[in-house]
Each structure stands twice: as C-alpha cells, then as structure tokens.
C-alpha cells in the first residue's frame, strides 16, 4: 500500500511540474502577443505583423505548425 501511495504522490508532483511549465510558457507567449496587440505606437498593420512574427518564432521553437482547436 505504501508503495502505491508513493507512486501516486510522485505522479502528482510530476503532473504539477508539467502544468507549471505549461503555464509559464503560455504566460510568456501570450504576454508577448498581448504586448504587441496593445502597443498604441503601432498601426494596425504593424500590430498584425508583430504578432505574426511572434507566431513564426513560436513555430521555429516548437517545430510544428499551429492548429486551431475544434469548435
């Protein structure tokens, strides 16, 4: 029984770490996009271009294309 409890605790710790890493990554990338979208010094076209550049950078780091969530 103790072995199973320790295994469950380990899985929970690993799951929390994974969630924490995902949260940090989302905060970073979405924060960059939000920053460009809210930059009043840029024109609308410049904002779109800046956001596209961030998405391209993400694709290069991630190594895959972005996919839309099913609605």
Domain boundaries, the chain: 2-62
Task: Please report the sign of the dihedral spanned by the C-alpha atoms of residue 29, residue 62, residue 69, residue 11.
Answer: negative
Q: Among all chains, which residue has been given the structure tokens 């009043």?
A: 40
User: pTM of the entire structure?
Assistant: 0.75
Query: Which of 67, 39, 61, 36 lies closest to 51 in space, CA to CA?
Result: 36
Q: Write down the pLDDT at residue 7.
A: 84
Q: How many CB atoms lie within 10 A of CB 35?
A: 12
Q: With a cut of 70, which residues of the chain have pLDDT below it?
A: 1-3, 71
Residue 63, pLDDT score? 84
Which pair of tokens denotes residue 21? 């890493």
pLDDT of residue 2: 61
């Amino acid at each position: 029984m103790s072995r199973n409890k320790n295994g469950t605790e380990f899985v929970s710790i690993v799951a929390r770490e994974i969630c924490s890493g995902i949260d940090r990554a989302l905060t970073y990338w979405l924060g960059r996009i939000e920053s460009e979208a809210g930059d009043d010094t840029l024109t609308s076209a410049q904002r779109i271009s800046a956001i596209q550049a961030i998405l391209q950078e993400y694709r290069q780091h991630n190594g895959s294309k972005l996919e839309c969530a099913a609605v």
